[in-house]
Chain A
Amino acid sequence: DDHKLSKEELEEKYTTSISKGLTSARAAEILARDGPNALTPPKSTPEIIKFLKQMVGGFSILLWVGALLCWIAFGIQLAQGVASAFDNLYLGVVLALVVILTGIFAYYQEAKSTNIMASFSKMIPQQALVIRDGEKKEVPAEQLVVGDIVEIKGGDRIPADIRLIFSQGCKVDNSSLTGESEPQSRSCDFTHENPLETKNIAFYSTTCLEGTATGMVINTGDHTIIGRIASLASGVGNEKTPIAIEIEHFVHIVAGVAVSIGVLFFIIAVSMKYKVLDSIIFLIGIIVANVPEGLLATVTVSLSLTAKRMAKKNCLVKNLEAVETLGSTSIICSDKTGTLTQNRMTVAHLWFDDQIYSADTTQSFDQSSQSWATLSKIVTLCNRAEFKPGQENVPIMKRVVVGDASETALLKFAEVILGDVMGIRKRNRKLAEIPFNSTNKFQLSIHETEDPNDKRFLLVMKGAPERILERCSTIMINGEEQPLDRERAEAFQTAYMELGGLGERVLGFCHLYLPEDEFPDTYPFDTDSMNFPTSNLCFVGLLSMIDPPRSTVPDAVSKCRSAGIKVIMVTGDHPITAKAIAKSVGIISANSETVEDIAKRLNVPVEQVNKQDARAAVINGMELKDMTAEQLDEILINHSEIVFARTSPQQKLIIVEGCQRQVNQGGDGPCHLNPTVFQDAVVAVTGDGVNDSPALKKADIGIAMGIAGSDAAKNAADMILLDDNFASIVTGVEEGRLIFDNLKKTIAYTLTKNIAELCPFLIYIIASIPLPIGTITILFIDLGTDIIPSVALAYEKAESDIMNRRPRHKKKDRLVNEQLAVYSYLQIGILQSIGAFLAYFTVYAEQGWLPNTLLGLRVNWEDDYYNDIEDSYGQEWTRYQRTYLQWSGYTAFFVSITIQQVADLIIRKTRRNSIFQQGLLRNKVIWVGIFSQIAIALILCYGLGSVTALNFTPLRVQYWFVAMPYAILIWVYDEIRKLFIRQYPGSK
C-alpha cells in the first residue's frame, strides 16, 4: 500500500529520511534481515539432466552399443563356458567407463565455463545511486535495502521497486513487466488503487527512459513485483553454434564410417562362416577402432584453452563453442559509443566572440575576454554532474563522475580550466532546476550569485544550439550584450555547421540576470509552471564535444577489412557525428563517398546518382523505418562501408536480420556453382542496453559490453567484452580462426591412426591371422598416448596471416572435409598401418612364425585346447605361449603406431607450409606432446608389461625402430604434398 502513503508516512514506516537517506549501519542491518536485492536465479536445467546429456552425446551412443554388445557376448560365452568370456565383460566395463569418464570431463568443463560466467556477473554488478548518511553514493544494486533513497536518471535500470518522491519528466519502459513498450510517465502522485497502475511506483528491472527521479525503495529482491511474478523470461532456445554444427557433422562422418564398415564386415564375417558371436566381437573391435574416443575431450580442452587466452585479451566467452563462431564472423555490427570510441566525451571546441577556439586543454585560448568568464560560469552552474567524493588526489580526467557523458565532459573541462567547480557552485546556490529532456531539449537552472551586493538571480541555460538561439534576443560579444541581428545569427549558423560537420556534439549556452524588482529574494520558483522568463535571453557561446575514437580501433578496422569482415556501425547518434567517427576509424575509408557526397561533388540531385558508384552509405534511422527488407538487402549488398545512424534498438534487430540474409562470398575453398545458398553470413553484434538483447540473441554471436553493458545484454550475449574495446573483438576473431585451423589439425591427426587401428581387424577377419592389436590397446592409444599431442596442436601458431583471408564459409569450409578425411584415412592412415604391420610380422617371424604360416591360422590359434600348434620351425606352442606372443604383437603394433603418430604430429603442425618454414621449435608444447607420447608408451610397455589385464609385454628395444622408416616416409611424403600445394595452389 506504499503508493497510498504520504512522504512523511513513508519516512516513518521505513524509518528513513528523504533528504539524508538511511545510515550505513541501518542499511547493513536491513540487508542482513532481508537478504540481497537480487532475484533467486530461475531453476536451470537440473545438473543431472546436463550430466546425462553428456553421457549420450557425440560418440557415446556408439560406445554404449559397443559395451552392450560386449556384455551380450560375455553372457553367451559364459553360458557356453568359454574361458576367455570375462575379457568381454571387462572390455564392456572399460568402454562404459570411457563413456562415463569423458562425459564427466565434458560436464566438468561446461560447469567450469558456467562458473566463470557466474563469478563474472558478480564482478561487475549493476550500480545504483543512493543517498546514505546524507551523501550520494554508488552502491551495487544488490545491496539496496528497503528505505534507501535512490536517484534515477534516463537510461538507468530501476534497481528495486521504488515509490517516487520526486520526479522530473520521468518516463519508464515497463516492457519487461507488461510487454508494452510505450513509455509511461512517472510522477509522485498516487493515481490508482492498483499498485501496478499507479504512477508513483517504478518497478524493479524496468528502465527509466528519460528524466530524473528520486524514490524510496519499498521492495527488494524476490519481494519485488517482478520477483513475485517470478517469471524471468529466460533461456530462449539458442541456435547451434557453427562449431557445434561442425562437430556434429564430424561425428556423423565418423559414426557413419564406423557403422557402415562394422555392418559390412559383420556381413562378410557371417558369410565367411564365422560364428555370429565372433562376428559380434569383431563388430565391437571395429567400432572401438573407428571411434576417436579421446577426440571430443580434446576439442573441449582446445576450445577452453582458447577461451582462456581470449579472456586474457578481454574477450570473455560464455559458451565455449562461441570461441570459434567469432572466427567465422563475416559481418560485425558495432556500436559506436564506448566500443569504437572511448565513451569519454571531451570538449573539443568553443565558439564565443565570433571565433572558434580549440579546447585542447594544453593550449590556452583567450581567457581574458569577459564573454569567456560568462560562458565558463554557465558551464559550471548549468550542470548536474558531480565528482564522486574522495578523489582529490586523482587526476581530473580520471576522476569518476556521477552524471551523463556530456555533463561530465563539461564538468571536467571547467575543473581543468577554472578549478574548484564545486566551490563555485556552492557560492552560487542553486534555487531551481529543469533537467535536460528530449522534448524541450534544454537544461536550465537558477542561481543566487556569489557577489553579495548583486541581489539578482542568474538564470543559466544550455541545450541544443538552435533551440537556445530561438530563446535569445541578444548575443554577448566581448562581454557586451548586443542585439541578435541576422548577421550575428548567420555567424552562429556558420560556426554551428562547422562544428557539427566535424561530428561533434554542439551545445549552446545562454543566460539572463533576472531583474531584482520582479524576482525578489523570496520569489518561489516553480519549475512546473515555469514562472520565470525562458525567452529573450542572452546568447553567450557554443561548446562542442566529441567522444574521441579509441586509438587501437583504426588498426583493428583495417585488420577486419583485410580479413574480409564487413564492419557496420550502428549508432543512435546523428548521421554527421556517426560519419565523422566512421571516417576517423576507417569504417568509411578516406576516399569513399556516399551517394550524398557524390551528388554534392557533381552538383546533381541525389536521385540521379548511380547508387553503385558509392562505396559508403550513411543510413538514417528514419529512412530505415520506411524500407522494405529488399531495399535493406540492396543497401547491404551495394555498399561495402555502411553506417546506420539515429537507429533505435529495435532497428538494430532488423539490421542484424538483414545482415544474416547476406551471402558470404568468402572461403578459401573452391567456389560452388550454386550461389543461391542464403543465410550464410555469420553476424556478430555488439550491444549494451537491455533493448539490445533481442539483437544480441538473434545474432550468431552477441557481444555485450563488460563495462557499459546491462545485465540483460550480458545474459543475452555469447561473449562479453571486458574492456568494451572494438579492437578486442578483432583479436578474438584471430583466435577464433586460429582454433578452427588447429582443430582441423587435431582431427586430421586423430583420424589418421583410426585406420591403423581398424586395418588390423579387417585383415584379421579376412586373412584369419592372429589379432594384431587388441581393443584395450586401442583405447590406450586413443585415450593415452594421443591425448596430449592432440591438445598440443591447439598451441600451434598461425601458418600465415590468418587475418588476410576471407571468413570461412559456413557450408563450404567444413571442419572435416572430403580432402582431410580422404588424406587422413586413405593415404597417411594406410601408410601407418603398413608400418605397424611390418612390426607385427617382424615380432612373429623372429619368434618362429613366418607370415605364410600365420595366414588362416586364426581358428586353431584361438583354440584353448589346441596346445601343440607347430610354428614355421617345427616347434610346438601352448595356447598361453601363443597368447603371450599375441600380446607382444599388440605391443609392437602399439609402439609402431605411437612412433608413426610422432611423425603424424609433426606433419600436422602445418597444412601448407613446410615444417622448415614453420620451425620445429616454435611450439614447445608439441615437444611436450611428443615426449609424453613416448613416455606413456614406455611406461605401458616396460612398467605395466607384467599386468596381464592390460595386454602389454616388455618389448625388445629394436622393435621400437621397425616402423621408423615408415614414420620418415610419412614425413617426406607430406613434405612433397605440401610442396605441390604451394606450387599449384587452388587445384582440386
Chain B
Amino acid sequence: MSKEEKKPFSQTMAEWRQFVYNPRSGEFLGRTAKSWGLILLFYLVFYGFLAALFTFTMWVLLQTLSGDIPKYRDRISSPGLMISPKPVTALEFYFNKSDSKSYAEYVSTLKQFLKSYDDSKQSKNIACTAGKLFEQNEDRAVKQACQFNRTMLGSCSGVEDDTFGYAKGTPCVLVKMNRIIGLKPEGEPHIQCSPKEEGKVQITYFPDGGTIDLMYFPYYGKNLHADYLQPLVAVQLAINSSSTKEDVTIECKIMGSPNLRNEDDRDKFLGRISFKVQMSE
C-alpha cells in the first residue's frame, strides 16, 4: 500500500456538498427524499409499536398490583426515625434565640406539620383504647383513625408557645417513626434521646416518657387509611447556658420494642436518628 494522496480541500468540500445534496440523483444526505420518507415512516411505525407495547406491558403490570397495599414490603421491615423540622442542610440546627429570623423556618415548618393534628380536625377520628393495637376488620373499606391530639405535645404543641420554645432557648424537635403498612410493634415502644456528651442538655418528652402508643398501629395505607395520623414524640431540649455556641449532638432511638430495630450497621436511620443543635444568644 502506498501512501494515499491527500485530496485537495476544495474536492473534499465538493464531495461533502455532493453528499449533503446531490442534485443529479436528488439525494439528500445519501438518500432520496422517498428513501428518507420510508425510513422515517419505518421508525415512526417501529417506535410507535414499541411505545404501544411498552404501555401495554406496563398496564398489565399495574393491573396485577393492588391499589391498597404494595405487593412486597420486605425492603422496609423495620421503620426509620425522622425529625421535624428538617434543616435544609444535613440535620443541623443553627439558630440564635434572640433572632426570630434565624428560627422562623423551623417554626413555620412545625406549624405546617402540626396543622393536621389540630384538635378541630380530629373530630372524625375516634378515641381508641390506649396500649392496645387497633386492628380493624378486613372488610371495612375505610379504616378509622385514632385521635392524636396536638395538646398531647404539651409545651411543644405550639398552642401556648408559638415559637415552640426556640425563643426561650428550649427548642422543640418532633420525632416521628416512618409509616409502614401493617407494622405491629411489640412491647412498649418509646423514644429515648440522649446527648452525646452528658450534662449539656436536659431533655423533656411529650407525651410523657416519649411513649408511642400501640393504638396507632397497624397502618393500612394511604388509600384505606386516609385520616391516619402517625404518633409523634416531641423532644424539648433545654441546653445548658454553658453549652451555648457549642455543637450538641442528640441521638434518639426507639426503645422497648423487640421488633423495631435500632442498631443497623449500614442504615443510620433505622430506628434511630442523630442531629446537632447549636444555639447562640
- Tell me whether B13 is interfacial, beta carbon within 8 Å: no
A948 interface residue per 8 A CB criterion: yes
Q: A210 interface residue, CB < 8 Å from B?
A: no
List the A residue with the shortest CB-CB distance to B79. Answer: A876
Out of B46, B80, B86, which one reaches A878, CB within 8 Å? B80
Contacts of A700 in B (CB 8 A): 1
Q: Is B71 an interface residue (CB 8 A)?
A: yes
Q: With contacts A660-B1, A679-B4, A865-B86 known, is A874 near B221, CB below 8 A?
A: yes
Are the CB atoms of B270 and A965 closer together than 8 Å?
Answer: no
Interface segment, B58-66, B188-196, B233-241? B58-66
Give per-residue flags for B56-86: 1 if the beta carbon is below 8 A from chain A beta carbons, else 0.
0110011001001111110110011110001
In the bound complex, residues from chain B placing their C-beta under 8 Å from that of A876 are 79-80, 82, 178-180
> For the complex, what is the distance from the CA of A794 to the CA of B2, rounded to whole Å?
32
A838 near B269 (CB under 8 angstroms)? no
> A657, A846, A965: which contacts B72 (Cβ < 8 A)?
A846
Which of B1, B73, B80, B221 is within 8 Å of A239, CB to CB? B1
From the candidates A837, A867, A871, A885, name the one contacting B54 in the complex (CB within 8 A).
A837
User: In the complex the two chains form, is B54's CB within 8 Å of A881's CB?
Assistant: no
Report chain B residues within 8 Å CB of A871. Answer: 70
Q: Which residues of A contact B61 (CB under 8 A)?
A: 838, 841-842, 845
Surface stretch bound by B, among A514-522, A823-831, A903-911: A823-831
Count of interface residues, chain B, beta-carbon cutoff 8 Å: 50
Kindly report which residue of chain B lies nearest to residue A241, judged by CB atoms: B1
Contact of A874 among B1, B65, B73, B222 (CB under 8 A): B222
Which chain B residues (208-249) contact chain A, with CB distance < 8 Å? 219, 221-223, 225, 228
Q: Which residues of A contact B219 (CB under 8 A)?
A: 874-875
Complex partner residue of B86 from A866, A885, A948, CB under 8 angstroms: A866
A672–chain B nearest beta-carbon distance, Å: 11
Q: How far is the CB of A953 from chain B (nearest CB, A)?
A: 9
A881 and B57 contacting across the interface, CB-CB below 8 Å: no
Binary flags per residue of A848-881, CB closer than 8 Å to B gives 1, else 0: 1011000000000000011110111111111111
Partner of A827, one of B2, B46, B58: B46
CB distance from A841 to the nearest CB of B (A): 6
Cα of A842 to Cα of B71 in the assembled complex, Å: 11
A847 within 8 Å of B (CB atoms): yes
Expressed in whole angstroms, the Cα–Cα distance for A905 and B151 within the complex equals: 67
Q: Decide: A875 and B4 in contact? CB cutoff 8 A.
A: no
A834 interfacial by beta-carbon distance below 8 Å? yes
Give the CA-CA distance A888 to B1 in the complex, in Å: 54
Q: Closest CB of chain B to A389's CB: distance in Å? A: 49
Q: Does A884 sit within 8 A of B, measured CB to CB?
A: yes
Cβ of A831 and Cβ of B178 under 8 Å apart?
no
Q: Complex: how many Å from CA A827 to CA B31? A: 20
Closest to B223 in A: A873
Q: Are B178's CB and A875's CB within 8 A?
A: yes
Q: Considering the chains assembled together, what is the distance between the CA atoms of A827 and B178 in angstroms?
A: 44
Q: Which residues of B contact A880 (CB under 8 A)?
A: 264, 266-270
Asked if residues A888 and B75 are in contact (CB atoms below 8 Å), the reply is yes
Q: Are A868 and B80 in contact (CB under 8 A)?
A: yes
* CA of A988 to CA of B73, assembled, Å: 53
Q: State the CA gap A235–B80 with chains docked (Å).
A: 69
Please name the residue on chain A nearest to B61 by beta carbon. A842
B50 touches A830 (CB 8 A): yes
Asked if residues A868 and B270 are in contact (CB atoms below 8 Å), the reply is no
Indicate if the CB atoms of B70 and A873 lie closer than 8 Å: yes
- Complex Cα distance A841/B223, Å? 21
CA distance A969 to B54 in the complex (A): 12
Residues of A within 8 A of B (CB): 239, 657, 660, 679, 700, 826-827, 830-831, 834, 837-838, 841-842, 845-848, 850-851, 865-868, 870-881, 884-885, 888, 948, 956, 965, 969, 988
9 closest cross-chain pairs (CB), A and B:
A874-B222, A878-B80, A848-B70, A876-B178, A880-B267, A868-B82, A846-B71, A867-B269, A878-B269
Beyond known contacts A871-B70, A873-B222, A880-B270: 19 more, CB 8 A cutoff? A679-B4, A700-B1, A834-B50, A841-B58, A842-B61, A845-B62, A846-B72, A847-B70, A848-B72, A872-B70, A875-B70, A875-B73, A875-B180, A876-B178, A877-B178, A878-B178, A879-B267, A881-B270, A884-B75
Q: What would 25 A/B residue contacts be, using CB atoms closer than 8 Å?
A: A239-B1, A657-B2, A827-B46, A837-B54, A838-B58, A845-B70, A846-B65, A847-B73, A867-B80, A867-B81, A867-B273, A872-B70, A873-B69, A873-B70, A874-B221, A874-B223, A875-B70, A875-B178, A875-B181, A876-B79, A876-B178, A877-B178, A878-B269, A956-B72, A988-B31
